[in-house]
Structure 1
C-alpha cells in the first residue's frame, strides 16, 4: 500500500541527485510551464537551481521573477516508485552566480573536473548565462509505493 513520506523522508529524497521538474504558473489560459532542471538541496535548506544557456531571456526566468512561486517534483522512475513535490516560495535570484553555487549543482550530474570547468567558465566567462534561483520549500506532497512492489 502506498504511503505518504514524512517531511524528513521527503527532504532526504529531494537531496538525492534526481532530475527535477520545475513547474511555474503562466499568465492567461495556458497550463503551467513544466521543465526539467538540475538542482541542489540539503535537508532543511533552500532548493537551488539555475536556468540553462538562455537563462536571462528564458520564459521560465521571467515567470519565476513575476510569480515568485513554484512547484518542484522529483521521482524514482523505476520500482519501487517514489516521488516528492515541494511547493516553494522564491527567496532570491542571482544573475551572476559564484563558482561554488554553480559547482554545487553541476557536480551532482557531471564528473567533478567537468563540473568545475562548467562552473568556472560560467562564473568567469565575462557574460554569465545562468540565473541561479533559491527557493524555500513550504509544503510537501509525496508518495512511496515500495510496499506495493513487495
Structure 2
C-alpha cells in the first residue's frame, strides 16, 4: 500500500484493531479493540470511561492503532494521531460499532451494556499512516 487513500481504505475495512498508548516508565499499553473509521475521517473506539485505556489515552492525548490482514499477501496499517474528542457513548454509535463485528441479532446486547455502564467514544484523527503489503 503506497498511497494514503489505500492505507485509509484498508483501515476502514473490518479488522480488530490493536490500540497502543504510552504509560510512563512501563512498556506501552496495547490491547485489541473494536473500532469504526471512515477514510479521511476520525477513528472511533468505544470503551468504559474508567478503563485503563481511557485513562491512559486521556493522559497522553495521542495513541497508535494497528490493523492487519492475517492472510497472504500479509498487510498492515498503523495510524498515529491525536485525540480530537471524547463524548458519552450513545446507543446509536454503540450500535454502529457493534454492527461491524457481530450479527444484527447480537447488537442489542451491546446496546444494553452501553445503557448499563459508563461508556465513552474516543475519537482520534490519524495524522500519520504506515502501511506494508506483503
Deviations 1:34-81 (A, max 9, x none): 100000011111000112xxx232211111111110000000012110
Bigger CA radius of gyration: 1
1:131 corresponds to: 120
Measured in 2, the distance between the counterparts of 1:15 and 1:21 equals: 14
1:50 corresponds to: 46
The equivalent position to 1:97 in structure 2, one of 89, 94, 102, is 89
* Structure 1 gap ranges (5+): 146-150
CA RMSD in angstroms comes to 1.4
Alignment of 1:109 onto 2:101: yes
TM-score by length of 2: 0.93
TM-score by length of 1: 0.83
Deviating above 4 A after TM superposition, structure 1's stretches of 4 or more consecutive aligned residues are none
Structure 2 counterpart SS, 1:45:
coil
Count of residue pairs brought into register by the alignment: 134
**Residues 36-47 of structure 1 aligned to structure 2 (within 5 Å):** 36-47=32-43
Q: Would you tell me which structure has more strand in proportion to its own residues?
A: 2
2:60 corresponds to: 67
